[in-house]
Amino acid sequence: MRHQHKINVKEEGLLFGVHPLLEAIRAGKEIDRVLLQNGTSGPLISEIRKHLAELDVPIIPVPKEKLMQFTRFNHQGVVAYISPVSFMPLEEVLQQVFESGKDPLFMVLDRVTDVRNFGAICRTAECAGVDAIIVPARGSARIGADALKTSAGALMNIPVCRSMNLKDTLQMLKDSGIRIAGASEKSEKMMYDTDLAGPLCLIMGSEETGISPEYLKKCDELIRIPMFGSTGSLNVSVAAGVITYEIIRQRQP
């Protein structure tokens, strides 16, 4: 199953101010996240909060100095990132995959914040036929023009699902019959010695600290890539590619 995002890359960017953000919301623009100056309030801010809560868009409180890094003009305490791709509901993607008759293959990126790594992983995932990329609403790379470029356009062709509560999302996948495999250099089990066929979700963690402990507890399998050199680990985008294609190899008849 492939998904074609209907986007205009030129529309990607930043919005400043309360009224432009409200207009974007009403126009159905895809909003990645909103930075809100500490202490900002009022009827229009309350309306914005209500709309963003309904859309599952994260609001990040920041000091005024943070917003001044973006513009010297009147931002009214609000800066919004507009995403060049549309986020897909995971439940919808899951239903489509099951209806197609194939075994689902999802990838969760836990706190992968480097835009280039994010884009490279999405490129590999799309080439390998991964059904969707799942990212947390907070603590993930911003999906902007740089991510789109690094992915070589792959972000236009693979569903991206945003999770407001990744722990609940993983449990939902498990309840749907999908096994969770986490990539961890601390695991004693090699990926080659692990059954990775069938419905699966692969979690890749941040390069600094790996997968969050609360998500490790959700994993049915913890796997690692064999390492023979003196370097401790692979770049996360390279590791994601290696494991993904081992999964694809095991799925071949």
Q: 54 pLDDT band (50/70/90 cuts)?
A: confident
Other C-beta atoms closer than 10 Å to the C-beta of 140 total 24
Q: Which residue is it, tokens 């309360």?
A: 18
Q: Is the pTM of this model over 0.85?
A: no
Query: Over the stretch 177-187, which tens digit does the pLDDT of each residue have?
Result: 999 999 998 88
Query: Over the stretch 125-163, which tens digit does the pLDDT of each residue have?
Result: 999 999 999 999 888 888 888 888 889 989 989 999 999
* Inter-CA distances, 18 with 23, 56, 64, 166, Å: 9, 18, 15, 29
Instruction: Write down the pLDDT at residue 6.
Output: 37
Three-state DSSP at 166 gives helix
Q: 105 pLDDT band (50/70/90 cuts)?
A: very high
Inform me whether the pLDDT recorded for 9 exceeds 50. Answer: no
- φ and ψ of 12, to 5 deg: -70, 135
Q: What is the percent of the chain with per-residue pLDDT over 90, rounded to a whole number?
A: 56
* Inter-CA distances, 121 with 54, 85, 232, Å: 29, 16, 20
Query: Over the stretch 27-46, which tens digit does the pLDDT of each residue have?
Result: 888 888 899 999 888 899 99
For the chain, the residue count is: 253
Q: 5 pLDDT band (50/70/90 cuts)?
A: very low
Other C-beta atoms closer than 10 Å to the C-beta of 30 total 19
Beta strands 221-223 and 132-136, pairing class: unpaired
Domain range 90-251, CATH architecture: 3-Layer(aba) Sandwich (3.40)
* Inter-CA distances, 123 with 118, 129, 157, Å: 9, 10, 9
Q: For residue 230, count CB atoms less than 10 angstroms from its CB and return exposed for 0-12, middle for 13-18, buried for 19 or more.
A: exposed
Q: Helices 166-175 and 90-100 sit at what angle, rounded to 10 degrees?
A: 20
Other C-beta atoms closer than 10 Å to the C-beta of 161 total 20
Three-state DSSP at 201 gives strand
Instruction: Write down the pLDDT at residue 95.
Output: 95
* Inter-CA distances, 22 with 32, 50, 220, Å: 14, 11, 43
Instruction: Write down the pLDDT at residue 165.
Output: 93
Instruction: Write down the pLDDT at residue 72.
Output: 67
Instruction: Write down the pLDDT at residue 4.
Output: 44
Q: 208 pLDDT band (50/70/90 cuts)?
A: confident
The residues spanned by each domain of the chain are: 9-82, 90-251
For the domain spanning 9-82, the CATH number is: 3.30.1330.30
Query: Over the stretch 67-83, which tens digit does the pLDDT of each residue have?
Result: 888 776 678 889 988 88
Partners of 134 in the beta sheet? 108, 161
Looking at residue 216, its amino acid is L
